[in-house]
Amino acid sequence: MSGRLQGKRALVTGSTSNIGRAIAEAFGAEGAHVIVSGRNRQRGAEVVDGIRSRGGRADFVQAELDGSAQASRTLAERATSVLGGGIDILVNNAGIFPGDTTPDTDEKTFDQVYAVNVKAPFFLTAAIAPAMTEAGGGAIVNLGSWIVRLGIPMASLYASSKGALETLTRAWAAEFGPHGVRVNAISPGVVNEGAPGEVHPGEIMMKGTPANGMGSPDAIAHAAVYLAGDEADFVHGVVLDVDGGRTTTAVMAR
């Protein structure tokens, strides 16, 4: 790695596994001091130990982002304290995917999905962005989803919540961009961190795409490094598709 985030202080929510973990590890490798955050202390410690073993800086802050403003404020305060006074990069990655049909989704599940996927990042951004503006700038990266733009069954609730987060990305770019805070999003495609040789049902969803297969969490992490770093200083309010061409391109079978 090249130290593209050297000296930056970052908070990555939901970073004890999968995409969030890959982003935290990439940030650490690029020189950032990373706050790994999630519910599971053991898994968080594993991520932190891995980053440190490779020469990076990382700490774990346990958090249950239930959508309440207080939970988001508490995470912001604890992360700021551990980092020594400020957050330069916020990645709103934590989310849940229930995978039910619309008729099978009960009100409790609906409220939980919107609490975790929309309310939690909303109030976390509200707690962190003002301090970024006071410090002269920062970067916020939200995690959307490819199914926001390409409807699939069994995903209406999740897709709508991620659509809300992508809309917030553009609104926040307008709100905070003039004050030096860049806000962008990544729309991951079908991504899996399965074992080698494992056949995942998501593979069929990537047939007929340029990639012709699922992506890795590292592919999303590379995009996050770009959007969080100075190389993207002229990038505001975009949703970057990192989906193997799933939502944009059809490859004709031969």
Residue 194 scores a pLDDT above 80:
no
Per the domain annotation, does 248 fall within a domain?
Answer: no
Q: What pLDDT, on a 0 to 100 scale, did the predictor assign at position 252? A: 65
Per the domain annotation, does 4 fall within a domain?
Answer: no
Which strand (E) or helix (H) includes residue 127? helix 120-135
Contact 32, 10 (CB under 8 A): yes
Per the domain annotation, does 191 fall within a domain?
Answer: yes
Residue 253 scores a pLDDT above 60:
no
Distance CA 159, CA 165 (A): 10
Half-sphere exposure of 94 (CA within 13 A, CB side): 31
CATH of the domain at 33: 3.40.50.720
Number of structural domains (the chain) is 1
Per the domain annotation, does 250 fall within a domain?
Answer: no
Per the domain annotation, does 192 fall within a domain?
Answer: yes
Per the domain annotation, does 237 fall within a domain?
Answer: yes
pLDDT digit string (tens) for 59-68? 999 999 999 9
* Token pair in block for residue 41: 């202390």
Tell me, yes or no, if 158 is annotated catalytic.
yes
State the residue range of the domain holding 17. 9-242
Q: Which of 27, 60, 158, 176 is catalytic?
A: 158
pTM of the entire predicted model = 0.95
Per the domain annotation, does 95 fall within a domain?
Answer: yes
